[in-house]
Amino acid sequence: MWWFTSPRIAFGEDALEQLNTVEGKRVLIVTDQILRKLGLVDLIVTELKKEPRSIEIFDRVEPEPSFQNVEKAAAFARSFQPDLIVALGGGSCIDAAKAAWVLYERPDLAVDAVSPLTKLDLRKKARLVAIPTTAGTGSDATWVAMLTDKAQNMKLDYFASREMVPDFSILDPRFVMKLPKEATAYTGMDAIVQGIEAYVNQWGNDFSDGIALRSIQIMFEYLPKAFDNPDDALARQKTQNGATMSGLAFGNSQVGLIHAMGHALGAIFHMPHGLAVSISCAYAIQFSSREAAPRYSDIAHAIGIREESPQKATETLIESIRSLMVHLRIPLCLRDAGISQTVFDQNLDTLVDQTGRSTCTFVDPRVPDVEQIRNLFICMYEGKTVEF
C-alpha cells in the first residue's frame, strides 16, 4: 500500500487572489528580510487585508535554517497564536515555516524528536499555505523540512511527516519574475535533479513517474529560456509549475544518491543546494545507471533523445545535462567550483561519512559502499568519468 499526497495548488496569473479563499483571522507570514525588502511580503499583506485579519511577519529565516532558527520562529508563533501560516520564499523559508508550524502545534516536541514515525496531529491550531519565490525546490509540495544541525555541521532529512505537506500552494508568476539569474539556474537544476531521482529511485511508482517525466520535460525546455530572458513570463510560469511538479514527484517517491552527496556538500562547503546537486548529478548517474540504464533511458526519451541502447541514451542524457549546466554557467566539477585541493582533502572523510548515512543513499537504484562513495567524490572533484 502506498500514498499520494498533494497540497491544493493554484497556479498561473493572479493565483495569489486565491489566498483569500483560505480561512484564517490571525495570519503569520514566515519569510526572510531580502524578500521583505523586495516588496513581495507587501503583495501578500495587500491581498490578505481584503478581509479583516490580524497579520504578523517573522522575517528572520536564515538560509539553510538551523534548529535554533526554527525554534525562534516557533516561539514567535506561540506568542502570536496564528490560525494561518503563510510561508513565503524558497526552500529555506518554506522548510522553516513547516518546522515552526509543527513546533507551534506541538510544543511538547523537541526539534530533533520529529521524524516520519511521529504522529503529529497537526491542524489543531493553524493551516499552512506556501508561496514559493524560486522555481526549484518544490518544498511547497513535499513533506520534509531540511534543517541544519550546526553543532554537527550536517543537514538532516528526518524532520518529515506526511502531515507536513502544506494545505495550499500558490504559484503566482509575480513571485519569480525577479529571481536573479544565478538562483534561476541553481534552483531550476535542483528541480531537474529531483525529477530524475524521483523517477529512478527504488520508491518510484506510477503516480510519481508521470509527474517526474513531465517536470523534467518542462524544465529542460523552459529553464534555459527563463535564464536567457528573465522577463519571459511564460518561461517563468512553466519553470514554476515544473519545480512544484518535481516536488510532488519526489515527495511521493524519494530522491537518491545525488541528493545524499549534494546535502553533504551543502553542509560542509556551505554551497547552495542547487549548485551542489547539479555538480553531483552526472557522476551519480554514471554510477547508478549500471543498475538502472532503462530508467535513465526513459528520461532521455522524454526529452527527445533517440539512441540504439539504454546505455547510449544514458550517456547522451548526461551530455545534455552537462551542456545545460554550461549554458547556465554552472561548474561541472568541484575544483571548478573554487574548492581547493587542500580543503577537499581535509573534508573528504566527512563527505563520505555523511553521504553513507543519508537515507537518500539507500533508495538509490545502486547503493554504493564507503569506498565507492569516496571514489565518486574524487571523480567529482577532478571531473573524471566514473568507471566503477
- Binding residues for Fe ion, rule: CB under 5 A, are 190
Residue whose CB is less far from Fe ion, 246 or 375? 246
Least distance in angstroms from the C-beta of 137 to Fe ion:
6
Backbone angles phi, psi at 224, to 5 degrees: -60, -35
19/160 with CB nearer Fe ion:
160
Q: How far is the CB of 22 from Fe ion (least distance, A)?
A: 27
CB atoms within 10 A of CB 237: 22
* Cα(388)–Cα(385) distance, integer angstroms: 9
Instruction: Tell me how far, at minimum, the Cβ of 292 lies from Fe ion, in Å.
Output: 19
Q: How far is CA 73 from CA 91, 94, 121, 236, in A?
A: 15, 12, 20, 30
Choice between 190 and 298, CB closer to Fe ion: 190
Kindly tell me which of 55 and 198 has the beta carbon lying closer to Fe ion.
Answer: 198
Give Cα 138 distance to the centre of its chain. Answer: 5
Query: Distance between terminal CA atoms of the chain?
Result: 35
For residues 240 and 375, which CB has a smaller minimum distance to Fe ion in the complex? 240
- Residue 32 or 190 with smaller CB distance to Fe ion: 190
Quote the least distance from Cβ 186 to Fe ion, whole Å: 10
User: Closest approach of Cβ 273 to Fe ion, in Å?
Assistant: 6
Rounded (10°) angle between helices 257-269 and 181-200: 140
User: Which lies closer to Fe ion via its Cβ, residue 44 or residue 376?
Assistant: 376
Q: Do residues 299 and 196 touch, judged by C-beta distance below 8 A?
A: yes
The CB-of-83 to Fe ion minimum distance in angstroms stands at: 31
Q: Measured from the CB atom, is 192 or 293 closer to Fe ion? A: 192
Cβ at position 283, least distance to Fe ion in Å? 16
Q: How far is the CB of 177 from Fe ion (least distance, A)?
A: 22
**Residue closest to Fe ion when measured from CB atoms:** 190
- Please count the other Cβ atoms lying within 10 Å of the Cβ belonging to residue 89: 29
Q: ∠117-88-74 over CA atoms, to 5°?
A: 50
Q: Is 107 exposed, middle or buried (0-12, 13-18, 19+ CB in 10 A)?
A: exposed
Please report, for residues 136, 216, 230, 274, the alpha-carbon distance to residue 183 in angstroms, rounded to integers and kept in the order given: 9, 18, 11, 8
Other CB atoms within a 10 A radius of the CB of residue 308 amount to 7
One-letter amino acid at 242 equals G
